[in-house]
Amino acid sequence: MDQPVRQKMKFRQSLMSRYMLLILAGVLFVPVVVPLVGMTFVIIITNTNPSKEAPYGDAKRITDMWINESKNLDGATDQNIHMRMKQLQERYPESAMYRVDAAGKTVFVLGGEEAELLKEKSSENAQDRSDSSETDVILKWPTASGKSEETRIPAIWTANDMVQFMKEASYRDPLTVISYIGGGDVNNGQGFIVIEVPRKLIQSSPRNGILEFIYFGVVMLIVFIIFIVLSVLFFAKIRKRLVRLQTAMVAPSKEGIPRPVDIRRWDEIGQLEESFNQMVHQLTSSRQREQEEEELRKRLVAGLSHDLRTPLTVIRGHMHALHKENLSEQGVRALSRMENKMQDLGELIDNMLSYNLLTSGRYTLKLEQRDVLRLTREAAASWYPVWENEEFEIDVDLPEDPLIWAVDEQGMRRVLDNLFQNVVRHAASGKYIRISTDQIEGHTAIVIEDHGPGIQQDSGTKGTGLGLTIVDLLIREMGLRKRVDSSDGGVRTYLYTGKDRSEY
């Protein structure tokens, strides 16, 4: 049978490469995946749900704008300065603007949307106050906390007012930007201008942080679940393939050899499956060779047995004729030894035929209810002359009550004859044989005992072992059991059945 061709596995096809990729994903999960998901999440949320832009820009934009405007007003007349401030107030209608001249006098005030102006005179369209020398102006601003912030604009600014006002301007709400006209932070004789803008107009609308945190947590949970699912699927596929290979190992075909498996992926398990298939092919080839050799052996044994019986019969006839001749004492002994060897040869041929029939399943057994004690007595009686000739001490102690087993009568006689012959051949030095019954595993057993050297010792007589093999085969076919206890003092062979007499 042709052997499958072993393929070379590439690293990218191996389980190692996929497992390393899975481990790499696990290692990079926290330091790389988490920030990456966070950045992606922020980008997506920002693009799909942007926050409300600050209507007046940020604080820097307002500050830079006011400083630039103050520089551009360098050398301008009061009318031009006030006109420019009105234009800026129209651009930033919710702000408040005012101007203090070089003498520290508040000369111009423009109020915002929610400012309350307390003054003696007001302009109808721009809330313009040109003469505020005797009255302070108070602006009230609502803050994000719900409280009200006030800005007191003195009619006449003292040095103390200037210091305190500039000190509070950096952190108060509204945002307050002060700039000298023409020089930014240098007084060149034109005074300074101030702009106040509620900080809510220069800050972005906050998002719902809790909701964004929940969204981020859900996304991370999904990513984590995907990682877990991929890991489980990776090992589940490996386990499935191993279980399929295990099933093929424990579920052999009718011949007792596992079936080959399909190699679906060429990786480490694929190599294992290929090795398994090679083993199956080798076992199948070995089984075929064994069957062919067994068939050849059976044909050879059958042929030899048939061919040997004809000359054996002729030799026996001539030996029988020699008994009628006048032979010397030495000739009689030689003829007796020849007859014994011819008998052994005949038994060997019979054993070969029986073994051939038993192993091929063509030995027909007819199981019937028989008294095995009677069969044992009859078999022992036929062996008495042999035992007496070998000067054996014979002890037969069998009960009178019958012992009924379901056996084949000829097969049972064959078992007993082979056991008795084994005693004569291998335990002749003990000069003893005992046939009795005993209880074993709750059943009555027939016991054949000798005082030979035991199975482990060399009895000095070689045999083929075919007789005991036939005994084991016949006992198995008849459903009996056999147990052998061996020691230096001899061998005890038990024959028994697993059923009681009442079960037949």
Confidence of residue 127 (pLDDT cuts 50, 70, 90): very low
**Residues 217-251: tens digit of each pLDDT:** 777 788 788 878 888 888 888 888 888 888 888 87
Q: Is residue 14's pLDDT more than 90?
A: no
Q: Is residue 2's pLDDT more than 70?
A: no
Q: Is residue 356's pLDDT more than 50?
A: yes
Q: Is residue 133's pLDDT more than 50?
A: no
**Residues 177-229: tens digit of each pLDDT:** 888 888 656 667 788 899 898 888 886 555 555 766 777 777 778 878 887 88
Q: What is the CATH number assigned to the segment(s) 365-503?
A: 3.30.565.10
Quick one: pLDDT at residue 376? 93
For residue 236, give the H/E element and its range.
helix 209-250
Residue with tokens 């906050």: 206
The strands making up 480-487's β-sheet, listed across from edge to edge, are 393-397, 432-440, 443-450, 490-497, 480-487
CB atoms within 10 A of CB 173: 17
- The percent of residues in the chain predicted with pLDDT above 70, rounded, is 75
Torsion over CA of 390, 396, 402 and 407, rounded to 10 degrees?
Answer: -30
**Residues 291-336: tens digit of each pLDDT:** 777 777 667 666 666 666 667 777 777 777 777 778 788 887 887 7
Quick one: pLDDT at residue 464? 58
Give how far Cα 18 sits from Cα of 6, 22, 77, 244, 425, Å: 22, 6, 81, 21, 69
Quick one: pLDDT at residue 120? 36
Strand-pair partners of 325: none
Confidence of residue 119 (pLDDT cuts 50, 70, 90): very low
Quick one: pLDDT at residue 306? 63
Tokens of 65: 């704008």
Quick one: pLDDT at residue 298? 67
**Residues 42-67: tens digit of each pLDDT:** 666 656 555 556 778 788 888 888 98
Rounded distance, CA 102 to CA 71, Å? 16
**Residues 414-463: tens digit of each pLDDT:** 899 889 888 988 888 889 999 999 998 888 999 999 998 887 654 445 55
Quick one: pLDDT at residue 448? 94
Most confident by average pLDDT, 94-98, 224-228, 245-249, 371-375: 371-375
Is residue 403 packed enough to be buried (19+ CB in 10 Å), middle (13-18) or exposed (0-12)? buried
Rg (CA), the chain: 59
Quick one: pLDDT at residue 184? 59
Q: Tell me, yes or no, if the pTM score tops 0.85.
A: no
- The percent of residues in the chain predicted with pLDDT above 90, rounded, is 12
Look over the chain and give the mean of its residue pLDDT values, rounded to a whole number: 77
**Closest C-alpha to 410, from 435, 452, 382, 379:** 379
Quick one: pLDDT at residue 372? 93
Secondary structure (DSSP) of 269-295: HHHHHHHHHHHHHHHHHHHHHHHHHHH
- Contact between 66 and 193 under an 8 Å Cβ cutoff? The reply is yes
